[in-house]
């Protein structure tokens, strides 16, 4: 039979209704069967432990991500299967100290693992660059411009501005204490954090604390976090353009309004041209003529940077302090010890500054323990191996495999920490109790490691210490259990927690006689 006769016979067969229907049903089934068998038995990651449903499809991962419980399921699977788990056909999660260095570390001669190209934050224009979505070489440009603002010298320049809002906040707490009513402390911490970071970020505060009212920006945090993760999932299925249809219209309009507000504030800051000791001093100097020299930022990059810094910088600090308030309220003996340390060190507010507060050992231990149990950022930005693949914890990982570290699985594992679910700041003291002597501190890196670690860690710590030191020098705090949910820690998360609110009562502290 010649070729033309063969083609004709095939075409004739395909016109047969029964055969066409059979092919329509059978071919997709065979493709699905092939995919399942390959992912289960022949995939390069086939030997890595995982439940069968995670090994054959990414749908469970997508569902957990979209419903806000990926962190809980990942921790559960780590506790069941060990330090490495296959969450989807091309998705691995690690929970070990060595994984920090293998995935995120940077050493001379070691190729740095890039961020997952489909999982970095992207706006409507995917070409806009920010400190969160650039490759290492571009990331370094952003870091060079911002490093001074987050250095010790930079923080000293910013301290008067930071204290301006903290002092107003302490005054408001005094007014609240006189009312004798429980207060939504989560809301107040968000307002304070946004006031500070918005002034540093674009030369104009939200004035939330002064007005005792949340800015609309704060009200879109959860929607913004969900939208970013929704786009992440949809992008990997090639349907990212459908994402806006799954976000309530009023939330989309609120976000557009916020971005326009941010753009106007950045323009105002650029036009002022003054040196304020904020984030923009060095950027303005290096970014003349819309960054024609290539050393600074373009105006578009400035706007994205402003939005990124204000959004991430404010929410993480308020999350840290909200979590610590909850843990201290549930552990009055820890709160008492913290207040005693602060009041033994300082007698007046004007004695409290960034360097002095940094030496409060028990306060630092409380912050670390709160981050261990309630990380302000849950999901680090995913990485992929460099070209040719790479090794993590002795396992060879092929290209384009998504890898990450599960902080809850690592930090709540009894193999790493004694009494892992208890709030025990003492484990972070230099002279720690014997029961915590074997805690695996090598795995505790709340701000990440490497050249793309958290840029704002110094600012976050400085703000948190100043707020706590001034607050507990002047006031006692009690958790209001009537309004604070009993299962407060049961929270959804899309990279960051969607915080349940903590309610507290304040009373004026009984100052000790000098």
Nearest in space to 86 (alpha carbons), one of 142, 133, 39, 123: 39
- The two structure tokens encoding residue 464: 């948190």
Q: List, in sequence order, every residue forming a beta bridge with 183; answer none if it has no partner.
A: 504
Between CA 87 and CA 383 the distance in angstroms is: 15
Residue pair 205/195 in contact (Cβ under 8 Å)? The answer is: yes
Residue pair 135/114 in contact (Cβ under 8 Å)? The answer is: yes
By CB atoms closer than 10 A (0-12, 13-18, 19+), residue 126 is: exposed
- CA-derived radius of gyration, the chain: 26
Confirm or deny that 454 is annotated as ligand binding.
Answer: yes
First to last CA, the chain: 109
Count of alpha carbons within 13 Å of 22, Cβ hemisphere only? 7
Nearest in space to 202 (alpha carbons), one of 127, 260, 132: 260
- The two structure tokens encoding residue 480: 């209001």
Residue 399, helix vs strand vs coil: coil
By CB atoms closer than 10 A (0-12, 13-18, 19+), residue 42 is: exposed
- The two structure tokens encoding residue 84: 């490495």
Give the sign of the dihedral formed by CA 24, CA 26, CA 27, CA 33: positive
Q: For Cα atoms 314, 317, 348, give the angle at the middle one, nearest 5 degrees.
A: 115
Between CA 384 and CA 38 the distance in angstroms is: 21
Between CA 129 and CA 219 the distance in angstroms is: 25
Nearest in space to 114 (alpha carbons), one of 496, 457, 390: 390
Neighbours of 374 (CB within 10 A): 23
3-state helix, strand, coil in the chain (%, to 5): 60, 5, 35
Annotated binding site: 454
Annotated binding site for heme: 454
């Amino acid at each position: 039979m010649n070729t033309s006769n063969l083609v004709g016979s095939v075409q004739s067969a395909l016109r047969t209704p029964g055969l066409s229907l059979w092919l329509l049903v059978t071919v997709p089934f065979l493709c699905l069967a092939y995919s399942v068998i390959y992912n289960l038995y022949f995939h390069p990651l086939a030997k890595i432990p995982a439940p069968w449903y995670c090994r054959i499809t990414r749908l469970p991962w997508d569902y957990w991500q979209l419903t806000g419980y990926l962190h809980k399921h990942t921790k559960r699977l780590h506790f069941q299967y060990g330090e490495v788990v296959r969450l989807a056909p091309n998705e691995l999660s690690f929970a070990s100290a060595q994984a920090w260095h293998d995935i995120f570390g940077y050493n001379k001669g070691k190729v740095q693992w890039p961020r997952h190209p489909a999982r970095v934050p992207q706006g409507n224009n995917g070409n806009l660059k920010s400190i969160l979505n650039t490759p290492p070489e571009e990331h370094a440009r952003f870091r060079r411009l911002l490093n001074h603002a987050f250095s010790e010298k930079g923080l000293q320049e910013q301290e008067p501005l930071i204290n301006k809002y903290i002092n107003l906040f302490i005054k408001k707490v005094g007014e609240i204490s006189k009312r004798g009513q429980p207060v939504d402390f989560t809301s107040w911490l968000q307002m304070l954090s946004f006031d500070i970071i918005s002034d540093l970020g674009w030369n104009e505060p939200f004035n939330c604390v002064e007005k005792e009212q949340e800015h609309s920006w704060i009200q879109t945090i959860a929607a913004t976090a969900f939208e970013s993760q929704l786009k992440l999932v949809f992008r990997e299925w090639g349907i990212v353009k459908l994402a806006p249809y799954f976000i309530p219209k009023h939330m989309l309009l609120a976000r557009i309004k916020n971005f326009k507000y941010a753009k106007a504030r950045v323009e105002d800051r650029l036009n002022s041209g003054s040196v304020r000791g904020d984030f923009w001093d060095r950027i303005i100097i290096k970014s003349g003529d819309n960054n024609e020299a290539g050393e600074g930022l373009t105006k578009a990059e400035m706007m994205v940077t402003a939005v990124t810094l204000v959004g991430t910088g404010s929410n993480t600090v308020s999350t840290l302090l909200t979590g610590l308030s909850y843990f201290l309220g549930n552990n009055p003996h820890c709160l008492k010890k913290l207040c005693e340390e602060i009041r033994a060190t300082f007698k007046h507010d004007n004695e409290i500054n960034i360097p002095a507060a940094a030496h409060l050992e028990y306060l630092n231990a409380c912050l670390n323990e709160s981050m261990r149990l309630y990380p302000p950022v849950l999901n680090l930005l995913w990485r992929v191996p460099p070209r040719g693949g790479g090794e993590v914890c002795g396992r060879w990982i092929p290209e384009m495999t998504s890898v990450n570290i599960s902080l809850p699985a690592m930090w709540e594992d009894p193999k790493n920490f004694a009494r892992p679910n208890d709030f025990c700041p003492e484990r972070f003291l230099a002279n720690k109790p014997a029961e915590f002597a074997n805690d695996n501190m090598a795995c505790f890196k709340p701000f990440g490691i490497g050249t793309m670690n958290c840029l704002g860690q110094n600012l976050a710590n400085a703000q948190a210490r100043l707020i706590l030191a001034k607050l507990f020098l002047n006031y006692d705090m009690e958790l209001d259990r009537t309004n604070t949910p009993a299962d407060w820690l049961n929270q959804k998360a899309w990279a960051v927690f969607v915080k349940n609110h903590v309610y507290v009562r304040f009373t004026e502290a009984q100052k000790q006689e000098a």
